[in-house]
Amino acid sequence: MNTAKTGLLLAAMTALFLAIGCMLGGEAGMALAFVIAIATNAFAYWNSDKIVLRMYGAREVDARTAPELVKLVRQLAARAELPMSKVYVVENPQSNAFATGRDPDHAAVAVTTGLMSDLSHQEIVGVLAHELAHVKNRDTLIMTVTATIAGAISLVANFALFFGNSRNNPLGIVGVILVMILAPMAAMLVQMAISRPREYCADRLGAGIYGHPLWLANTLEGLERAASQTDNLEAERNPATAHMFIVNPFHSMIRDRQFSTHPKTANRVTRLREMAGIGGQTNPANPWT
């Protein structure tokens, strides 16, 4: 299923590139866009995780430099029956986290310094389990490839006004304006369609990994409040990566209601509380204290 979704994602993004090429340069533009799309897809598959980690200045940590964090990831990975992921820390005051990598054998979990300093032990467990759930579901490939290609589409759209006004442009300035407006919007809609259901799945699976749905429910509310009050400048500069975080890293809550790649936090919390109420604590024994 995830392989099919990845294929559909790549096809949709390739179609966007072809549409952009056609609008800007006719048949020649479409041919060039096809070559660029193939190269971008291949590059994104093998390197998108490295790009995202570098984009946020993430530094890898180990049992010597961050013993408690690495220990928690190792314990949760074992409970989820996953290989041990690489662990990264991002110097950022906003409490947030994301996972990346093309498969569980090449996965990485990244947390911000704000999250490490502001959250309790139980809250960090909830966040890490959610990110490892993305790894187990193989969402990280879809999320990282989407981020890379959507960013490339937005970049091309931004340059359309400078390079799209040529004799080969079948729609003239109208086509240029359409590319500038519609291409980033279309990329964002693809992100929304993929990311929102994946967040619900990761919430549920993550809660099952450590056995206490209410931990994550309470944490999500705090993370949303913190994100609305603390800047994440790297995310603001790279909006195509926003869907990778556990909560939306942007300040603008007005835009979130219409175009957010994340479900409403209140809906996520409600589902987790229903999960706790129906099944109780799925693992009463508490190894996380």
Q: Which two tokens stand for residue 52?
A: 């995202």
> How far is Cα of residue 137 from the mean position of the Cα atoms in its chain?
13
Residue that is written with structure tokens 């800047």 in the block: 231
Q: Which two tokens stand for residue 237?
A: 């500069």
Which of these, 202, 189, 210, 177, lies nearest to 281 by C-alpha position? 210
Angle between helices 139-163 and 121-136 (to 10 degrees): 80
Mark whether 199 is an active-site residue: no
Strands, E, within the chain: which ranges? 59-61, 86-90, 97-100, 108-112
Catalytic residue among 123, 131, 199, 224: 131
Angle between helices 67-79 and 121-136 (to 10 degrees): 50
Q: Which two tokens stand for residue 27?
A: 């048949």
Which of these, 78, 166, 72, 164, lies nearest to 119 by C-alpha position? 72
**Phi, psi (degrees; rounded to nearest 5) at 105:** -75, -15
3-state secondary structure of 198: helix
What is the chain's percent helix, strand, coil content, to nearest 5? 70, 5, 20
The residues carrying an active-site annotation are 131
